[in-house]
Amino acid sequence: MPRTFVRARAALVAVLLLVVLAPVAEAAAGREPAPRAGTRPEGVAPAPDWTAPLSTRGRWIVDADGDRFKLRSGNWHGASGTWNGSGSPDADADHHAGENSGRMPLGLDRAPMAEIIAGFREIGINSIRLPFSNEMIHDSRPVTDGSVAANPSLRGMTPLQVYDVAVRELTAAGLAVILNNHTNTTRWCCGVDGNERWNASQSAETWENDWLLMARRYRNNQRVVGADLYNEVRRTILDDPNWGLGDNHDWFAASQRVGDRILTEADPDLLIIVEGINWTGIPVDGLPHERPTLEPARRLSHTLVDSGKLVYSAHFYDYTGPNHSGATGTGETSDPRYRDLSPAELIKVLDRQAFFVSAETNTHVTAPVWISEFGVGGRDETGNKQRAWFENFVDHLIRTDADFAYWPLVGRHENRKGNGWALLHWDSSGHRMGVYDGDDWRADAWTRLIAARGRTGPVEPVADWAMLSPDHGDFVASRRMRALPDWNSGARKAACPDGQRLLGLSHTGNRGLCSDVSTGPLRDPSRGHVVVVDERYVGPGNDWASGYTKLQCADGHFLTGYSVRGSAVSAALCAAAPVGRLGTAGRTVWFDRSDNRGPAAKGGDFAQGRYKGQCADDEYAAGIAYTARVGSARTPDALYCRELS
């Protein structure tokens, strides 16, 4: 390797470390003060009763009674680590903002847990994002007596046992808890620190097994409502994460797989929360770099084995930007930060990066979006841009009726000085300082946010739309088919979630679209499935695609899946419907030369840049046609769409 290249790479790595570590450290560190427990803002009622478990209906999270449950959350951090990664883990000065959490939720050295939790309720919080690290789960060292000085009953416990108590007490107080896998190792996040990916400092297998352990651990506690799979997925020194490439950096595939495993092997009641990608590229002017957040989900969205369990999430801070890592000084790029944008520009960027998920209804990507981190400095924040950004961001949360989680809830102070981002602070004598103590400029904005009147009450069921993407392997979203033997060995298989039917296919790219629109579940549970590999069910005189090979379901059956070998169709998966549910009149929908989805097609663009065909809402797909002529890749060319009875 030429020496000049080695020097260039070394310099680049040095810059990357400075650029990424500084911003993320500032970002991660910066999540600070919040309101104080004790003086509930006027108009904010106590958290109402709600019935677990939670699920989703379109863009809304609902409880078991079908009523909207808005996540008005905060982050109680600490169990994921506060050590900066250099110096002594035992020295407070070597922890972020001098706040040594002792490998537990912060503040237990200064305030009784009951007082801290009461504070959460008093400032209007109804749910807690509770970060943990994979290292913390397996850490057998007892916490120190000093780290639980205000909670002597916790002495001698391991960090995980303390986490157990926090979960128990939070939920006993009526709060919902979202488990958040924040880091691999127990140290401060989020730079080039060994915690960039779910598998940065550990194997993907370890990560998945740890999630199954945690989901099973709290399965009997119905107010543990969500699994927030991993925090701020980002670039290592040399490699980017990606969304759909099929390698071991593929965040889409990893989150899809572990989400399905949690639902099928551990706890089917949990919400599965998937954060977008926080950073790709090298943050140097002239080189490509960005914060993709949730934009990749528009072209490739998740389809879990259980509809109504997916929530997307994103993080926003004033000092980062759509192409700005947040760094200051060495390595800072010239890209605008979010605080540099006008209110109109900010809204446009926020909608593009995250809020479109809940704004665009009746698409494969439609889901609740939870802004699971945002925050700003408190009493000591004098910057006009920073303050204006926070006000504008709160306005957008209110405008969009979005679910949110402030970072962080708990911090330390001495003589009213400290890491001012938190909403609640305790000093070494146990005295509390909060956002409503009269000198915190954020109080009005926080009150507006907590007291904002968004949608409440019953949310009617809506049609589910789901994308199938067997790009690199099986994409079987059906619990039923997962439990049965391989129905087309050697092929990549795709199957709709139970209760949905196939309505659309792409000409190339292997993408499919499923829904339960207009009819609800259609399959007869007493009857099985049929794998079709030839034309045996094409009736006499019904050549609906002359000259093409037709994989057609038998009468009374409808398409729920397909398989491919390379790019070629290899089989159709058909399920039986109850007698009389399916009509026989049909039409051919060609999409080999252009899109053919109808003028009122729902579901969204499920195969960007590809030709697509789609049956109407009041139809079902009963067949796939392709050609084996010379030069053809045997990709789908047409769908046979029949009328529902």
**Could you give the CA distance from residue 604 to residue 364 in angstroms, rounded to a whole number?**
6
- Please give the pLDDT value at position 14: 39
Higher pLDDT, 30 or 229: 229
- Please give the pLDDT value at position 387: 97
- Please give the pLDDT value at position 48: 60
Q: Retrieve residue 157's tokens.
A: 């416990």
Q: What is the mean pLDDT of the segment spanning 476-489?
A: 96
> ∠ CA(430), CA(435), CA(436), 5° rounding?
95
Q: Retrieve residue 595's tokens.
A: 């899109």
Q: What is the mean pLDDT of the segment spanning 536-561?
A: 96
**286 phi/psi in degrees, rounded to 5:** 95, -15
- Please give the pLDDT value at position 631: 83
Listed range (25-29, 286-290, 526-530, 628-632) with the worst mean pLDDT: 25-29
Neighbours of 485 (CB within 10 A): 6
pTM for this model (two decimals): 0.93
**Could you give the CA distance from residue 277 to residue 242 in angstroms, rounded to a whole number?**
8
CA-based nearest residue to 232, from 464, 58, 43, 28: 28
* Residue 307 DSSP SS3: coil
DSSP string of 122-162, one letter each residue: HTT--EEEEEEEHHHHH--SPPPTGGGTT-GGGTT--HHHH
496 with 481: CB under 8 angstroms?
no
**Cis geometry, peptide bond prior to residue 343 (ω within 30 degrees of 0):** no
DSSP string of 465-518, one letter each residue: EEEE--SSS-EE--HHHHTS--SSTTSEEEEPPTT-EEEEEESSS--EEEE-TT
- Please give the pLDDT value at position 8: 32
**Tens digit of pLDDT for each residue in 42-98?**
444 445 689 999 999 999 999 999 999 999 999 999 999 999 999 999 999 999 999
